[in-house]
């Protein structure tokens, strides 16, 4: 079986002066054709490095990588014909030219020619509802418009495999929702298309992806459907506790036997700290409330919640995905 | 048409279109591009006039100024353009397409030639109209032949320069600086290289700009035809394939090295 994307023991080491950084450490993934595959991990986990290798922009230090069966090292030209990348926060293009002109330029790089190029551009402008700003110079676009333009550029060659690297990064809720809808529809309407999506937004991964891999410090630490991953914390009890005041390191809670992981986030404006706990037993929560009271923190609420991918990450890594 | 060749042609066409349309969209840019370089040439013309130099020197300087525009375009417009493409993220987007990098560089070269021709033409027009520069128009085809060969050689050199930027980014500027003033000095942009000692004349003669400029001056000012300038044509024709092969090999090597070391799309360096 030919996978849309397959990596075998893929490793990439960067040298920075005398030290070395292992950005990818024996990564093995197999993405089936027609799948939306999510790569979930914090900043610096290795997501972008993986995409850059798959997109033939970077050579691996060791291991193998195939895109639609083509070797990214030996057959980069074949890989480039069938892929494209859209990155969040990307501002590639020529500011003095309009959206249409920029897209036409990219169409030439895929061999469309003059007329076919303009035709393809107009198709994408209609598809992504970009008529309002199609003739506006790129340097005058808002962040949301830029990302729609980026997506149009990413679809210009009708790629079989699309790499989306944090595509909704920095976008407002409405535009992010729109971009996600387009991604979802794209695969629904073209079942032969495959998407590799990197994100650190768990909701996005859950909403869009058929399967998800969690990457941390260059290693894939878990892989499966969203339900498979959540099943990893099915035995644990997840609680969300809100307390008045900004708490410290909470080491006295971590030390309680049965506390598997915890994270907390203080809101300076409201003065409330939200603590998320992964516990082995329901009864432990009373001990925790007691410990907080002893430290003179007023407990505002205690809620038992359904596990999320955040809890999976928390259990596996011991830290929050998004700090 | 072979797919690779088609992509090379279309990438060059697309990039040249961007450079020409983008570079001339603002009228003020065109004026600056034309007026400022004229000042340098004008000052040299006045210097010669005040020294009572023969009238041929005016045409001599005008042609030198025009050719200097092309050389600066090769050094700064083509070589360092790749640096800016990298910084803006355009190189990354280009490199994931199947279009060959040579197409991007060829497009930059063609677009740059077009824009520089506007500048160079304005110099010649100003030289003829205001300074009464005299040219022999009967030998124009010879001048064009040498001009065309010179551009091919210079832009091949530009492609080799660009590959340095691919790998070393901003540090590539040092190479451009290294080739900027010394070549202006050696190629005789504002004076005949016969003023140099023999050893310097020999060194200067291996530069395509020196040979091209000398050939164009001889044809347009002294009226020499292609038979008188066979040596110039031969040398330039021999340099072009050598420089092209070097440029392509260097480009491929630097691309590989940059991908291996992770510098291909590394910004802020």
Query: How do residues B15-53 score in pLDDT, each as one tens digit?
Result: 999 989 888 887 777 777 778 778 888 888 898 889 888
- State the pLDDT confidence band at A42, using cuts at 50, 70 and 90: confident
Inter-chain touch B93–A97, beta carbons under 8 Å: no
Q: What is the DSSP letter of A297?
A: P
Give the H/E segment covering residue B210: helix B208-220
Count how many residues are written for chain A. Answer: 323
Contacts of B14 in chain A (CB under 8 A): 104-105, 107-109
- For A175-222, write each residue's pLDDT tens digit: 889 999 999 999 889 988 999 999 888 888 888 999 999 999 999 999
CA-wise closest residue to B13 among A304, A117, A119, A305: A117
With CB atoms and an 8 Å threshold, state whether B88 touches A92. yes
Q: Which residue of chain A has the CA closest to B259?
A: A58
**Chain B neighbors of A104, CB-CB under 8 A:** 14
pLDDT of residue A309 exceeding 90: no
Note whether B93 contacts A157, CB cutoff 8 Å. Answer: no
Residue in B227, B101, B203, B90 with CA at minimum distance from that of residue B160: B101
* Rg (alpha carbons) of chain A, rounded to whole number: 23
Residues with Cβ within 8 Å of A191's Cβ and at least 6 positions away in sequence, in order, are A34
Taking residues B154-175, what's their average pLDDT?
81
Using an 8 Å CB-CB cutoff, list chain A residues near B15: 105
**Residue-averaged pLDDT of chain A:** 91
- Look up tokens 């506390």; give the residue: A259
A124 has a pLDDT exceeding 80: yes
**pLDDT grade for A84, boundaries at 50, 70 and 90:** very high
- Confidence check: pLDDT of B220 > 90: yes
Nearest in space to A164 (alpha carbons), one of A130, A140, A195: A195
What is the reported pLDDT for A16?
Answer: 79
Best mutation target among B2, B5, B93 (most A Cβ atoms within 10 Å) is B93
The number of C-beta contacts closer than 8 angstroms across A and B is 88
CB A204 within 8 A of CB A168: yes
Chain A residues whose C-beta sits inside 8 Å of any chain B C-beta: 14, 52, 55-59, 77, 80-81, 83-85, 90-94, 96-97, 101, 104-113, 153, 157
* Mean pLDDT, range A112-136, rounded to an integer: 94
Measured distance CA(B181)–CA(A323) in Å, rounded: 52
Subunit contact B17:A105, Cβ cutoff 8 A:
yes
Nearest-Cα residue of chain A relative to residue B17: A105
> Do residue B89 and residue A92 have CB atoms under 8 angstroms apart?
yes
Q: End-to-end CA distance of chain A, in Å?
A: 39
Q: What is the pLDDT of residue A321?
A: 64
More confident residue, A311 or B80: A311
The percent of residues in chain A predicted with pLDDT above 90, rounded, is 58
The CA-based angle A76-A77-A78, given to 5 degrees, is 90
B97 → chain A, closest CA residue? A80
Q: What is the ipTM of this complex?
A: 0.86
Distance separating alpha carbons of residues A184 and A177, to the nearest angstrom: 11
What is the chain B residue with the closest CA to A15?
B261
Q: Supply the pTM of this predicted model.
A: 0.86
Q: What is the pLDDT of residues A283-304, one digit of tens each?
A: 899 999 998 888 888 899 999 9
């Amino acid at each position: 079986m030919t996978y849309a994307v397959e990596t075998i023991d893929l490793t990439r080491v960067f040298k920075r002066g005398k030290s070395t950084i292992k950005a990818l450490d024996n990564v093995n993934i197999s993405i089936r054709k027609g799948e939306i595959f999510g790569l979930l991990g914090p900043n610096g986990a290795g997501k972008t490095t993986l995409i850059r290798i798959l997109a033939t922009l970077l050579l691996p230090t060791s291991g193998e990588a195939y895109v639609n069966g083509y070797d990214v090292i030996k057959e980069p030209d074949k890989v480039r014909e069938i892929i494209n990348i859209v990155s969040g926060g990307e501002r590639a293009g020529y500011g003095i030219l309009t959206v249409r002109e920029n897209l036409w330029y990219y169409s030439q790089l895929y061999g469309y020619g003059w007329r076919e190029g303009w035709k393809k551009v107009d198709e994408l402008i209609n598809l992504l509802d970009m008529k309002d700003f199609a003739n506006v110079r790129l340097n005058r676009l808002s962040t949301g418009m830029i990302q729609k333009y980026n997506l149009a550029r990413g679809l210009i060659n009708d790629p079989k495999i699309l790499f989306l690297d944090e595509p909704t990064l920095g976008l407002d809720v409405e535009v992010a929702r729109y971009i996600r809808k387009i991604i979802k529809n794209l695969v629904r309407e073209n079942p032969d298309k495959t998407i590799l999506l990197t994100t650190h937004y768990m909701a996005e991964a859950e909403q869009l992806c058929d399967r998800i891999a969690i990457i941390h410090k260059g290693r894939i630490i878990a892989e499966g459907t969203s339900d498979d991953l959540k099943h990893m914390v099915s035995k644990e009890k997840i609680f969300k506790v809100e307390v008045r005041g900004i708490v410290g390191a909470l080491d006295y809670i971590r030390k309680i036997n049965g506390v598997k992981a915890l994270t907390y986030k203080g809101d300076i404006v409201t003065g409330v700290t939200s603590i998320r706990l992964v516990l082995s037993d329901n009864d432990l929560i009373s001990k925790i409330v007691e410990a907080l009271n002893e430290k003179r923190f007023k407990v505002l609420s205690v809620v038992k919640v359904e596990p999320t991918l955040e809890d999976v990450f928390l259990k596996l890594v011991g830290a929050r995905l998004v700090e | 048409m072979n797919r690779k060749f088609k992509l090379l042609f279309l990438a060059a066409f697309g990039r040249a279109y961007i450079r020409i349309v983008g570079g001339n969209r603002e009228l003020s840019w065109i004026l600056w591009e034309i007026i400022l370089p004229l000042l340098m040439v004008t000052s040299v013309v006045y210097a010669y006039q005040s020294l009572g130099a023969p009238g041929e020197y005016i045409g001599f300087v005008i042609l030198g100024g025009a050719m200097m525009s092309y050389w600066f375009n090769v050094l700064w417009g083509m070589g360092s353009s790749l640096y800016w493409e990298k910084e803006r993220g355009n190189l990354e987007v280009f490199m994931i397409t199947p279009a060959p990098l040579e197409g991007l560089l060829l497009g930059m070269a063609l677009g740059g030639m077009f824009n520089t021709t506007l500048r160079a033409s304005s110099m010649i027009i100003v030289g003829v109209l205001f300074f009464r520069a005299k040219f022999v128009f009967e030998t124009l085809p010879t001048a064009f032949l040498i001009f065309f060969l010179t551009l091919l050689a210079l832009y091949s050199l530009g492609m080799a320069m660009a590959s340095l930027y691919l790998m070393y980014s901003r540090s590539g500027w040092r190479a451009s600086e290294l080739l900027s003033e010394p070549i202006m000095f050696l190629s005789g942009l504002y004076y005949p290289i016969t003023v140099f000692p023999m050893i310097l004349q020999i060194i200067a003669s291996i530069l395509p700009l020196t040979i091209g400029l000398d050939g164009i001056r001889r044809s347009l000012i002294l009226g020499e035809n292609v038979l008188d300038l066979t040596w110039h044509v031969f040398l330039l024709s021999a340099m072009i394939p050598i420089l092209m092969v070097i440029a392509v090999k260097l480009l491929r090597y630097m691309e590989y090295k940059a991908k291996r070391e992770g510098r291909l799309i590394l910004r802020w360096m």
